[in-house]
Amino acid sequence: MAETTGRRGLSPKAYEEIPGDQYEPYVPAEKRILEFSWRAVLLGALFGIMFGAANAYLGLRVGLTVSTSIPIAVMTVAVYRAFVRGGTILEHNISQTVGSASSSQASGLIFTIPALFLWGFSPGVLKLLVIALAGGLLGVLFMIPLRRFLIRNEHGKLPYPEGTACAEVLVAADAGGSQAHNVFMGLGVGAVYTWLMRGLTLWPRDAWAKVPFLPKGQVGVDVAPALIGVGYILGAKIGLVMVGGAAISWLVLIPAIEIIGRSMTEPLFPETVRLIADMDPETIWTRYIRYVGAGAVATAGIATLIRSTPMIIASFKEGMRGLRRRFDKTAVAQAIKRTDDDLPFNVVLIGVGLIVLFLAVMPHVFGFIESFTVRVLAAILVAIFAFFFVTVSSRIVGLVGVTSNPTSGMTIATLLGTSLIFAGLGWTDDMGRVAALSIGAVVAIAASIAGDTSQDLKTGFLLGATPRRQQTGELIGVLTAGFFVCYSILKLHEAYAFGSAELPAPQANMMMLVIDGVLQAEIPWRFVLIGVGLALVAEAFRLPSLAFAVGIYLPITTMMPIFIGGLIRKLLEGRQPTQQAKEEVREQGVLFASGLIGGDGIMGVLIAFWAGWKGIPQGFGHEWMGSFAGGFALAMLVLLAIFIIRAARRSFSA
C-alpha cells in the first residue's frame, strides 16, 4: 500500500488547523482499493463480540470501559499478516470500525440496565436487545449528517485523539520505516507498563497526595500510559482547561463541603447514612460532586447545542439537497468525491422514523406502559434526547477521546429531564421508574455509539476511507454484537448478582438514585445548580465550557495525566529552534503517544478477559503462573510481543 500511495505516513496537515477539504488523505480520493470485504466485516464482528463481553464485565466491576478501536486494529493487522495476506489498509479500517461498536454498546447498557435488577425486575434478553439495537442504530444514524461538520469542517480543531491514534497505528503497519518505529515502540512500552501495573499489580494505578491547609483536599494522578498519550495529542491548552475543572471539584468544592458539613450531626442529603465528617474525599466526590458535574455537563451541552444550531440546520439542508439530487438526473451525473460520500439522508430519516415507531408499538420496551399514547411520548423523548446527546458526545470525544467520554453524566441529565416530565404527569410508580430508566438506557447507548462512530470516522477521514462504507460497518457492528453483549450481561447477573462485591455496578446505582430522587422529590438540586452556575461562568469567560465541565465531572486522577501529557508536548516543542524541528517533534511524539494508547488498550482488554475468566479484576496476582488461565494470558502476551517484534522488523525493512 505504501508503494501505491507513494507515502510513508500521514500528511503533516493531519494535525494542522486547516479547512478539511484541503487535507490530503493517506489513500487519495481518486484511488479505489479494496475496502468493504466479507472477511473484514466477519473479522471485525468476531472481535466485537469478544471485546464487547470483556468490556461488559469490566464496566460492571469498576464503572468504566476501554476503547477497543486500536486493539482491534492491531489484531486485525496481525490476523491478516498471519493468515490472509494482501489485505489493504482500508480493509483493516473497516474491520476495526465494525468491531469497535461493541464496546460502546456495552457502556450504555451496563451504566443503566443493572438498576432494573437492583429494583427487583428481571428483564429478558429480548427487552435488552431491543434497547441495545435502538440506541446503537440511533447513535450511528444521527451521526451521519454530522460527519462533514464535526470531522471534516472541524479538522484541526477537534483532534479526536483515539481516532487519530488508530490512523497512525494502521499507517505505521502499512508504511513502515521510522513511522512504524515510533508507533510500535509506544505499543510495546504501553503494553508492558500496563501488564506490570494492572496485571501483576506491582504498583498502584493511582497516586494521591494531600494538600496542606485544605480540609480533605487532595490531588491525584492515574499513571495509565493511555491518558498521557491522549494529553500529548490534545495539547496543553485543552489539558489546562480540563484539569482546571477538576481542581474546582477537588480543591474547592470538596473542602468547602467538608468545612460546612463537619459540624453536622445528621447526614447531608442525598446521603442518608454517613456524616460528612466520616467521609473520605472520594466518597464526597461520589455522593455530591457527581451531581455538580452532571449539571455542568448538561448545561455545557446545551450551550454547545445552541452554538451548533447553525451546523445542524446546515446539515439538514444539505441532507435535503441530497434527497433532491437523487431525483435530478443532472446532479446524479456529477460524481460525489469518494472520501465525502455519506449514506443518503433518506436512510437517516427513514431509519429514525422506523425506530421511533417500533419503540412506540412494541409492548413492554418501556416497562409496564399499556397506553399507546404514553409509549409514543416515551419514544419521542428517546429521539429528542438521543439527538441532543449524540451531538454533544461527538464533540466531547473530539477533545477527550472515547475512554474519557462522560456518558454517565449525559445519562444522568437524560434521567433528570425524563423523570421530571414523568413526575409532572404523576407517573411516580414502578411504571415511571422503569420507563425513565429504559429511555436513559437507549440514550446512553446512542451517545456512546456516536462517540465511537466519530472516532472511527476521524480515522477514515485521515486514511481516505469511504464514509458510507464505514457507516454501514458501524450499523453491522451494532447488529452483530448486540445479542452477545446482552446475553453476557444476563449471564454475569446469574453468576454474581448486580450490587454484589464482585459486580457492584457503580454507575447503575447512581442512575437508580437519580430516578428515585426525582420521582420521590428527593433530588439534590442545590448541587446540580452549582454545576449549572459553574458552566455558565465558563461560558461567560469564553472558556471551552464542555471541556471544563468534563473536568468537573471526571476524577482529577483522569484529568491530571491528560494535562501532564499536554505539558510534555509544549515543553518539547518549545525547546526546538525552528518551526520545522517543532513539527518533527510533534509528529514523532504523536506517533509514540498513539502507540501508548494502543498498547494500554490492548493489555487492558487482555486483563478484562482474564478478569471475566477467573473473577480477579484487580490483576493477575501471584497465582497467575500456576493456573491454566494464567498460562493462556502469558501465551497471549508472548504472541503479542512476537507480533510487535515481527511487525516492527518488517516495517524497518520496508
> pLDDT tens, 80-117?
877 877 789 999 999 999 988 877 788 778 878 888 88
Q: Look at residue 635 and tell me if it is in a domain.
A: yes
For position 457, what pLDDT does the model report?
94
pLDDT above 60 (res 326): no
Residue in this structure with the C-alpha cell 465531572, named with its chain if needed: 553
Whole-angstrom distance, CA of residue 343 vs CA of residue 313: 18
Q: Look at residue 382 and tell me if it is in a domain.
A: yes
Whole-angstrom distance, CA of residue 47 vs CA of residue 159: 26
214 band by pLDDT with thresholds 50, 70 and 90: very high
Q: Look at residue 32 and tell me if it is in a domain.
A: yes
Write the burial class of residue 338 (CB in 10 Å: 0-12 exposed, 13-18 middle, 19+ buried).
buried
318 band by pLDDT with thresholds 50, 70 and 90: low
Q: Strand runs (DSSP E) across 218-337, as ranges?
A: 218-222
For residues 449-453, give the mean pLDDT.
Answer: 89
Q: Look at residue 90 and tell me if it is in a domain.
A: yes
Q: Look at residue 151 and tell me if it is in a domain.
A: yes
For residue 581, report the phi and psi dihedrals to the nearest 5 degrees.
-65, -40
For position 239, what pLDDT does the model report?
87
Mean of all residue pLDDT scores within the chain: 79
Q: Looking at the 3D structure of the chain, how many domains does it have?
A: 1
DSSP string across 184-249 = HHHHHHHHHHHIIIIIS-SS-SEEEEEPTTSTT-EEEEE--HHHHHHHHHH-HHHHHHHHHHHHII
For position 104, what pLDDT does the model report?
76
SS3 at position 374: helix
* pLDDT tens digits, one per residue of 329-375: 444 445 578 898 889 888 888 999 999 998 888 777 776 667 788 78
- Between 64-68, 330-334, 434-438, 441-445, the lowest mean confidence (pLDDT) is in 330-334
For position 21, what pLDDT does the model report?
79
For residue 474, give the amino acid letter: E
Provide the residue range defining the domain that includes 151.
2-205+339-392+413-418+430-512+591-653
Q: Look at residue 286 and tell me if it is in a domain.
A: no
CA distances from 366 to 105, 370, 421, 494 (A): 18, 10, 15, 23
Q: Look at residue 85 and tell me if it is in a domain.
A: yes
Show Cβ contacts of residue 297 under 8 Å, excluding neighbours closer than 6 positions. Answer: 406, 409, 410, 413, 531, 535, 546, 549, 550, 552, 553
For position 623, what pLDDT does the model report?
42
